[in-house]
Structure 1
Amino acid sequence: MATKEFKLPDVGEGVAEGELVNWLVAPGDTVSEDQPVAEVETDKALVEVPSPYDGTVKELLAEEGEMVPVGNVIITFTVGGDAEADEPSSESGADAEPDAPTEPDASAEPGASAEPEAPGAEADAVEATEGRVFAPPSARRLARELGVNVAAVNGSGPGGRVTDADVRNHAESGGTGETGGEAKASKGPKQVDMSSGKSAVSRREDADGEPAGAGTGGASASAAPSTVERAGRERTLAAPATRRVADEEGVDLNDVPTDETRDGEAFVTAEQVRSYAADVAAAEEAEAAGAGGPSATAGAGNGAAAGASTATGGEETVPYRGVRRTIGNQMAESKYTAPHVSHHDTVVIDDLVEAREELKEHAAERDVKLTYLPFVMKALVAGLKEFPVLNSELREDEEEIVLKKEYNVGIAVATDAGLMVPVVKDVDQKSLLQLAEEVNDLASRARERKLSREEMQGGTFTITNFGAVGGEYATPIINYPETAILGLGAIDERPVAEDGEVRAAHTLPLSLSIDHRVIDGAEAGRFTNHVMEYLENPQLLLLE
């Protein structure tokens, strides 16, 4: 038996860190080599990180939403032989720790380690020794969102662990947490005591399922589940990663209940801290919603989850992370690095509308949807060849402007997760139908979060189509370190004055933003005029 550490690998060329968006496993889970264990967000790409071992997850050393430097240990595994047999407390896998003691804890309830290989006994042992629900933070958050009392959910994971799927199944079957006493009479819902001045966290039950200390009050588990006091220790041992989690959660390690010891001192794991913090948060939500009494936590599922946004005056908070934070960092770097100037113009495209209508049917016969974008891309490349400074990059350290000889056009795509920019490579070497087919494929996979990192790299110029939502003009931000970006407004009939008369014509508004350190305004105007010439006379595209 051995404990193996797994460091965050370089999930993309030159990436120094990544955001751990979601854990796909929990402590105690059995994993196989190459099985995804986490999702990591880097530079707008969501990447699954696979396990390098066959074994059992021992501890998760990073929090969801945390930025982790490449090379930092994020997870440990128990590998070799029977992983569960090596863990005396593996039946409560949420508390596994890399250097956990090899002897059973003397303070554990009777029968806690008996026959761990029996699934039924294992689940009973979990409840007897810990008296709390084992569920990762994601499952607890989901339970609160769905109005489910996590204590009433039957866990299907190792040691009775509650998974996200368990919570969803419970919600779909009509369970709300209100009937937790009926669904699990031997366990009973957790109760929050907001008036005691003590930690509102249910922690321990005896082997019969009654809350610890219930005998002194003469109450049954289903009638009056107890609340457990803060541990109130003067000293607690914990790994640095666990202490970091405690700081982030605002938890005092000395308050977190634990049965584990190291060198005679209480030892707390990161999972225990997260569970404790989640229970305290649920208690606070219940109090804010006006819940109380034996069903306070059960009611919090419906009341607190719905009222969480009104408890602070109607505000709602949304995590600033993942793709949204990546976009924010990229936009800030671009805006504060490159002095932006925007050039606006409008092109009459009656002939282009007519040409596209004629070609659309031929494209459909080849199962290709032909939009205006491929025409714009071809016209754009014609302009970049004539004015190469717009297809460039400023390398400040080397004090040089690099004029790119490749024409790789990024296409900004709005997705539910935020803006993504897949890149169409070698636009100058592809036909309209090839471009149409590739753009449709990339846009579709961008919305499904199925793009690879490589498909969003190597761009030399970017197009953004804000006209898709009805806009005309904008001041798009450059996709740094590129030096220009072209925004497309909505194609519509607008009044156009020609030869002293006004007529309705199909027009396309254009918004070009440039890095004024590299590109002069006059050159931006001439470039735009060149692109407009090709859009006004689409037959010129046959020459490209």
Structure 2
Amino acid sequence: MAEKVVMPKFGMSMQEGTIAEWLKKENEPVKKGEPLVTISSEKITNELEAPANGVILKIMAKEDETLKVGNTLAYIGEAGEKLDTSSDEGDNPSKFSTETSASSEVAATAVLTEEKQATDIGKRIKISPAAKKMAKSNGVPMEELFGTGPQGRITKQDVQNYLDQTSAIEEEKESPVTASGIPEQPAKKHTNSKVTPAKGMRKVISDRMHQSLQESAQLTLMKKADITELQEIQKQAKQELQKTDADISLTLTAFIARATVMALGKHKSANSAFTNDEIHTYETINLGMATSLDEGLVVPVVFQAENKTILELAEKIYSLSKKARENRLSSDEMKGSTFTITNLGASGIEYFTPILNPPEAGILGVGTYQKSVVFQCGELAERTFLPLSLTFDHRALDGDPASSFLNEIVYYLEHPYQMLL
């Protein structure tokens, strides 16, 4: 008997997932435990393994399609086995009857003739999260969309229909005419370029970063901190820890995290978010630590960072970054952050303009430290400086409090003993 493959629940809060890429095709053999499909949810991308040996009898969900947890993705069984998928009709958003397909064509015609779906004043628009994101990114008015999904819900295909019909209308307009009266020819397309569809983690990152810049007023302040004493303390701490059984190393990142948390405790306006014309200021500090992977960027979260010592911060940051590199992070470990730190020091970058991790009001960018010779007490001295870049949402806080917050971080980095008290 064929075995059903369903949308898994990778995290406690996961409600739906998007098919990023099928790793197997229909009628292709598969072994139990072999990667079957890549699924993206929130900012996490995981591979779903085949639950049994057999052949892919039927794939029920297309790439880029979003389905609820528990919905059918595919069937695995014996080659040539007859399959009854009638129980899945209406289960997956993309699987509708002939009547529904016909209504989709009617909906496309309705868009073409600019007939809007009749809705009562104040009635909530039913639209899937993926369709809503697609509509926003393409500037499509949601009230002009006609839903063909269950109970009139607007799907990604409905948004695509609108875009296709709008494009067709534009193409039908007269081509621009040159001064000689000859129609202007369209620009020649490049034929020697490689086109790579944005899928999975790359698609999630692109959507979120575009959303961040579109929906916030971002400004970046830059300043360097003298970490000469901090490096000496870090060196001494490493030596002391090596004498113990502690399997942990006090990295510079741990000190930066501790300085940021302490500064956020004094400047609560930086630990906030601007949402729906409201400023939400958080009492708890959930510190996001941006981690670079081959596939993209993830932001695991250190929850209640204000209650952790510098050693506990170091241990948690190490644990989360290791899980990220091994692709073992759950979606719950990557949501709920209130402030983020991103570090490009290993890349040799000094200052940069990090993009906010929505809906947070602030993100701290850390560059690579540099040694410089400066005058100190009338004498030349070699010092080490760490470049910092603070991007903040000007809707949530102004330049002066943002400057004070950045100065506070610099103070703790330049007075490292304060972080150990």
**What band does the TM-score fall into relative to the shorter chain?**
0.5 to 0.7
* Equivalent residue number for residue 41 of structure 1: 40
Partner of 1:405: 283
Match of 2:210 in 1: 332
Distance 1:71 1:421 in 2: 23
Aligned-pair CA distance for 1:504: 2.5
Q: Note the residue ranges of structure 2 that are not aligned, 5 or more in a row.
A: 87-95, 102-189
Please give the TM-score of this superposition, normalised by the length of structure 1: 0.53
Match of 1:320 in 2: 198
Q: Which residue matches 1:21?
A: 21
- Correspondent of 2:261 among 358, 381, 399: 381
Aligned residue for 1:468, secondary structure, equals helix
| Secondary structure of 2:420 counterpart | helix
Aligned position for 1:60: 59
Aligned: 1:448 with 2:326: yes
Letter in 1 for 2:296: G
Contact 2:25-2:56 within 8 A present in 1 as well: yes
Query: Contact (CA 8 Å) 2:344, 2:365: kept in 1 or not?
Result: yes
Could you say which residue in structure 1 is the equivalent of 2:270?
390
How far has the Cα of 1:432 moved from its partner? Answer: 2.1
Give the residue type in structure 2 aligned to 1:456. Answer: M
1:487–1:510 Cα contact (<8 Å) kept: yes
Sort the Cα spacing of 1:59 and 1:434 in 2 relative to 1 into closer, same or farther, 3 A.
Answer: same
CA spacing shift, 1:541–1:37, aligned 2, 3 Å: same
- Taking every aligned residue pair, what percent have the same amino acid on both sides? 31
Q: Does the C-alpha gap of structure 1 residues 494 and 433 become closer, same or farther in structure 2, counting only changes over 3 Å?
A: same
1:524 aligns with 2:396: no
CA distance in 2, matches of 1:323, 1:518: 29
The one-letter amino acid paired with 1:18 is T
Give distance in 1, aligned partners of 2:222 and 2:85: 64
Which amino acid is 1:395 matched to? T
Question: Is the 1:488–1:511 Cα contact (8 Å) retained in structure 2?
Answer: yes
Equivalent-residue separation in structure 2 for 1:21 and 1:391 (angstroms): 37
Output the CA distance in 2 between the equivalents of 1:19 and 1:77: 15
Which deviations, in whole Å up to 9, do the C-alpha atoms of 1:343-392 show, x marking residues without a partner? 10111111101100100122334222221111111111111111101111
Q: Which has the larger radius of gyration?
A: 1
State the one-letter code of the partner of 1:505: R
Matches within 5 A, 1:287-436: 314-365=192-243, 366-396=246-276, 399-436=277-314
Cα deviation for residue 512 of structure 1 reads 0.2
Q: In the alignment, is the contact (CA less than 8 A) between 1:351 and 1:538 conserved in 2?
A: yes
Task: Find the partner of 1:536 among 391, 414, 417.
Answer: 414
The AA in structure 1 aligned to 2:280 is V
**Is the CA contact (8 Å cut-off) linking 2:220 and 2:390 kept in structure 1?**
yes
CA displacement, residues 456-496 of structure 1 (integer Å, 9 cap, x when unaligned):
12211100111121111011001111110001111121243
Give the residue type in structure 1 aligned to 2:59.
L
Indicate how the Cα distance of structure 1 residues 455 and 71 shifts in structure 2: closer, same or farther if over 3 A, else same: closer
Q: Does the residue aligned with 1:406 lie in a helix, a strand or coil?
A: coil
Alpha-carbon contact 1:21-1:41 (below 8 Å) kept? no
- Whole-angstrom CA distance in 2 between matches of 1:520 and 1:430: 29
Distance in 2, matches of 1:521 and 1:510, equals 16
The equivalent residue for 1:114 is: none
Aligned length: 319
Shift of 1:15: 4.5
Normalised by the size of structure 2, how large is the TM-score?
A: 0.67
- Does the C-alpha gap of structure 1 residues 436 and 25 become closer, same or farther in structure 2, counting only changes over 3 Å? farther
Q: Deviations over 1:136-187 (max 9, x none)?
A: xxxxxxxxxxxxxxxxxxxxxxxxxxxxxxxxxxxxxxxxxxxxxxxxxxxx
Q: Report SS of the residue matched to 2:395.
A: coil
Q: CA deviation at 1:315?
A: 3.0
> Which residue matches 1:439?
317
Which of the pair has the greater relative contact order for Cα pairs under 8 Å at 6+ separation?
2
Alignment of 1:97-116 (within 5 A): 98=84
One-letter code aligned to 1:378: R
Q: Could you say which residue in structure 2 is the equivalent of 1:69?
A: 67
- Which runs of no fewer than 5 residues in structure 1 stay unpaired? 91-95, 101-237, 244-311
SS in structure 2 of the partner of residue 473 of structure 1: coil
Counterparts of 1:518 and 1:457, CA distance in 2: 20
One of 316, 333, 338 as aligned partner of 1:460: 338
* Aligned amino acid, residue 466 of structure 1: L
Separation in 2 of the partners of 1:419 and 1:438? Answer: 18
CA contact (8 A) 2:19 2:37 kept: no
d(CA) in 2 for partners of 1:334 and 1:442?
24
SS of residue in 2 equivalent to 1:66: coil
Distance 1:71 1:439 in 2: 30
Could you tell me which amino acid in structure 2 is paired with residue 59 of structure 1? K
1:511 to 365, 376, 389: 389
Which residue identity lines up with residue 21 of structure 1 in the other structure?
A: E
Give the Cα separation in 2 of the matches to 1:374 and 1:449: 22
5 Å matches for 1:482-501?
A: 482-499=360-377
Aligned counterpart, 2:169: none
Secondary structure (helix, strand or coil) at the match of 1:514 reads: strand
Amino acid at match of 1:38: V
CA shift in 2, pair 1:501/1:318, >3 Å: farther
Contact 1:20–1:62 at 8 Å: present in 2 too? no
Q: For the residues of structure 1 that align with 2:384 and 2:231, how far apart are their CA atoms?
A: 8
| Cα shift at 1:50 | 6.6
| CA positional deviation for 1:6 | 5.6
Contact 1:352 1:535 in 2 (8 A): yes
Aligned equivalents of 1:401 and 1:413: distance in 2? 27
**Which structure 1 residue ranges, 4+ long, deviate > 6 Å from structure 2?**
50-56
Distance 1:72 1:317, change over 3 A: farther
- Counterparts in 2 of 1:438 and 1:74: CA distance versus 1, 3 Å: same
